[in-house]
Structure 1
Amino acid sequence: MIRSVLNTISRGLTLVCIVFMAAIVAVLFYAVVMRYVFHNPPSWSMEVSRLMFLWTVMLGSALVTRENSHIQITFILNALPKTPRTIWMVTMNLAMLFICLIIITEGIRIYPTVSEALSPSLGLSMGWFYLCIPVGAFFMALYVTENLIRTVNEYIRSLRSERNPCH
């Protein structure tokens, strides 16, 4: 049940990232054509593409967190025996969860202040630019929690199978 909800969330985030990346390409292509062909660059193109880029980075970071695909050096981790490796992975997941919670709380704390400012060319609340930080960190925390639970469950399952190899 929970896994299917998380899968649905991941599909939604992936779709948002795909749409935003395609829109960034379209907006920037339009801006280049307008600038170099018609000598009339749009004032809003950089702002719109920056907004979509920020959201794509934060949501994409959450997606790669779920897949445990962030850059990491694994040769030492892979050389460790099962128990120390699991302890290390649990510790890292707890540290990541703690950092995500700090980012969420600080992002929520600064949101009212930054949302009062307006973006220069669109007049859009700067809150939209900063909101991606706590939202992305929330999804990262969700996926780190999933990874943490999966790591502990896999470890417990492996211990049970070692004690009872018939099952």
Structure 2
Amino acid sequence: MISRLVANLCVGLIFVILGLLLTQVLMRYFHGSPPSWTEELAIILFAWLVLLYATVGLREGFHVAIETIPSRYVRLQGWANRWVAALAVIFGWITLTAGIDYVLRTAGQKSAALQIPIETLYLCVPVCGALFILHGVARLFPEPDPAEATA
């Protein structure tokens, strides 16, 4: 449920970023100079997009390592999946704690063009760290498949 919501948010972010970049190109072509805020906002949204979609990749299992490790060790597939999930939880914890620390250290700073709090950019790190933990735990303890229970 959460991964579907995050994936839909990522699709929306892609369209907003494309709109910003198109605006920048058109303004450069017709006006000779693009507005600086479009590039800065696109960078902020792109950082959010990449990290958010990485959490979806963990939950849905379409990262390269998540696919490669279990397929190499067919007999140990269950344990390999759990190891990958456990490593993701550890990575999420490190990302969450380091991200919170970094957001607190940069509190009060403003972005160059938009003059918005720079925490708007850096907050994506702890938020996505928390999502990594959430999705990693979900992979550690998957819901039982109803089809297998009745078989």
- When normalised by structure 1's length, the TM-score is 0.79
Match of 2:109 in 1: 117
Letter in 2 for 1:130: Y
Match of 2:39 in 1: 46
Give the alignment of 1:126-141 within 5 angstroms. Answer: 126-141=118-133
Match of 2:65 in 1: 72
> Alpha-carbon deviation of 1:74?
4.8
Ranges in structure 2 where 5+ consecutive residues have no aligned partner: none
> Alpha-carbon deviation of 1:10?
2.2
For residues 112-165 of structure 1, the C-alpha deviation after alignment (integer angstroms, 9 at most, x for no partner) is 1112211111111110110001111211211111111128x67xxx8xx9xxxx
Pairwise CA RMSD: 2.3
User: Residues 121 and 87 of structure 1: is their aligned pair in 2 closer, same or farther, counting only changes over 3 Å?
Assistant: same
> Alpha-carbon deviation of 1:97?
0.7
Q: Provide the secondary structure at the position in 2 that maps to 1:87.
A: helix
Larger gyration radius, structure 1 or structure 2: 1
User: Residues 72 and 33 of structure 1: is their aligned pair in 2 closer, same or farther, counting only changes over 3 Å?
Assistant: same
Letter in 2 for 1:128: T
User: Residues 76 and 116 of structure 1: is their aligned pair in 2 closer, same or farther, counting only changes over 3 Å?
Assistant: closer
Ranges in structure 1 where 5+ consecutive residues have no aligned partner: 1-6
* Percent identity of equivalent pairs: 25
